[in-house]
Structure 1
Amino acid sequence: MSYVTEVKKKIKNNNKNETEFLQAVDEVLDSLHPLIEKNENYYKREAILERLTEPDRQIKFRVQWLDDDGQVQVNTGYRVQFNNVLGPYKGGLRLRDNVNIGIIKFLGFEQIFKNALTGLPIGGAKGGSDFDPKGKSDREILSFCKAFMSELYKYIGPDIDVPAGDIGVGAREIGYLFGQYKRLTSSHQSILTGKGLTFGGSLARTEATGYGLLYLTNAMLKTHGLSLENQRIVISGSGNVAIYAAEKAQQLGAKVIAMSDSTGYIRDDNGLDLQTVKNIKEIERGRIAEYVITHPEALYKEGKDIWSIPCEVALPCATQNELTLVDAKQLVSNGVKAVAEGANMPTTLEATHYLQKNEVLFAPGKAANAGGVAVSALEMSQNAERMSWSFEKVDKALQEIMEDIFSKISESAARFKQYDNYVFGANVAAFEKVIEAMIAQGI
């Protein structure tokens, strides 16, 4: 039995029912097999894979808060501090009713690789709770955030662990969390990123993940003699990442023809009016279906078959495993040229393999959506300097980081003659950096 197979079997036995985590581990270890087998005895003796896939610590805590009816509510909070050999733990907080330890571990594991690819000194972590902010009042969200931070603050700090936002955690939630940390510690430390501009936040943080996704996608296309100019783009989701991916795509000359939310999708072959989408989703907090009220020439359809729309570039930006094998076959039959992941693991393993087999350029999330954490780290730098950089300076740094990430993953893939296999390239580039630091620091 190979070392990789042995470790995978052990992880499966020790993490039963943690579907997303097991999927992420399988994807990484399977792709790293060519690298591992070159020096298998050494990696096994040093237990490299066991140390990489077992979190440093997993923190689970009760969150008790008061709703508007005076009823005490109880949720579960998590923080998985996965690996800090490159720097302080760094990763977002997710608030959603389906959050569990398996999802948090999957996200934290992916974060190790994503953060390593940025070239910045940050380790991997993730956290969150099964609390869902949707339908809650501002006062209820404040009550929850204060209770959540009253437990989490014991385990974080500017040189220990610096959380950020994720699904369900935007500027409002970050503000409430930061305020409670400040009350508990009497300090104004850089312990959260994604803060408001008036108290240490960074310009371009809102746009970072979406912009970064397009910077990397553009670099990938250019390497193959292609361009975003006049290309049809389909984007799943209509949250922060999707909206700013669409904005940067339009700035680079592409035509965004479809976006979605949890109820369905809109299609506008003339190109979406992004300002209308922003008004619906960011200001009115409405449903994407409302787009056709002011744009009757567009089509709204319920369901999740957005990938049936013919396009040259597909950007899954909604949630994990949203793009299935069936979807991949549909995209290929319609002539898609590139797929780049804006969400974390939005493409199933079967779909990923099918796209690669059919020579579709595929950029994995750990590389393609690293823009958010990259600018979070730049926010940490600004806080440490007690400085605020211009939007242009941050955006330029973001573009350079994303283009450098593509260069790294492309070179790593080519080194093993796995040309254009950017999943392999991303895993190898990040793995080598993390393992070098891990070995240098001893056990």
Structure 2
Amino acid sequence: MSEKIKNVVILMFENRSFDRMMGWFDYNSEIDGLTPGKDCNYVNPADPSSLKICATNQGKLKDPLDPGHLYNDTTQQITGNGKLPSNQVTTADMSGFVANFAHNYPGIINNASALHQIMDGFSPDRIPITYELASNYTIFDRWFSSFPGSTMPNRMYLHSATSHGEPDTDSSKYLKGYPQRTIYNNLDDANIPWANYFYEIPSLLLFDELRLGELSHYKNWATFGKDAAAGTLPPVSFLDPAYFSIGTCIVENDAHPPSDVADSEKLLKEVYETVRASPQWNQTLFIVTFDEHGGYYDHVNTPLHAPNPDGLNVSDFNFDRLGLRVPAILISPWVEKGAVIHEAHGPYSDSQYEHSSVPATLKKLFNLPNFLTKRDAWAGTFENAISLDKPRTDCPTVLSDPPAPMTKPTTTNPISQAFCKLIKQILQGKS
């Protein structure tokens, strides 16, 4: 792998399960996806006479509600038991998604149309960019989030193979920061360059130790396109999408509901075509994944055994099991077209693909000396996916048009236009 791949680009979207995004993909019969009329939940998991909701491929790109996805929500979703402590899960039959959705939004408990939000996925034509990339490259259908809960702990696992005992997405703690070592510290020790390209905020500044290094690691979004075109992308690039909208100037494109998946499709197309056009393409691995399931249904039982990374716990969770399946795509001229990776290639018989697989694989790729925690030492690695003898020449250069967003922001007022121009200049480092 080290002879083929010289730079890695990582883009992590938010809050969509595998079944939500890829459950209806049909280009490869090996994909462990959804079955019409089979994948269902009851409003009351203990009562088969209660309202039954079965997954369809009619999911909306812009959902009206943000499903529950804290770790206690996830416990109910995978077990069907809303009173079970999160550290006492012994089975996961994936029966409680509708029940948890109704619990969080009691006004829709008898509204089958509204409840379908939590169960439904997308037909391939609704998300053409994701479908084209999946069918042209390699996906995992058993890649799990690292933590059965919300965004920030899972993102920390991608970077540091632990959340340092953090079970929540708690913005009050961001200023103080988190102390754990990251894969970027290991890269620094080996004198291997990296960069955090960002729309609005460089999320890697969440980590204390990454605030002490070179600020040149943090680059605004416009620089990503320039560096890719010039062939100067560093060996590792982490991309931050727009996590929130700024009026009509910046549109949230991280896929977090209720934002529009059409906007994340547009971003994915932009990043892929930028990387594909780069002179570095034949040495590139582009990794696309989602931080967590966002409360959306997935039919595959989540693994209930994983090593605690560092011995840190909270009162009702021991950080010793994984979250749900999320989409993950490996994009490179060195991977097979339309391939599906199932069971993990790892150091232990129970190793799984999860977000800690990224630092574990980067350790191998760049011959770094140390693992970060017990979790990346356990996680599956995917160097075996870089399997071709020579780079492919059939990789698409341009993808289809993304879907149209449900609402298109417009700025017609001259003062608003000037404000938006200033905002974009600031974000691009021009002001």
TM-score above 0.5, yes or no = no
In the superposition, the TM-score normalised over structure 1's length comes to 0.30
User: Greater share of helix residues, 1 or 2?
Assistant: 1
Q: Give the TM-score normalised by structure 2.
A: 0.31
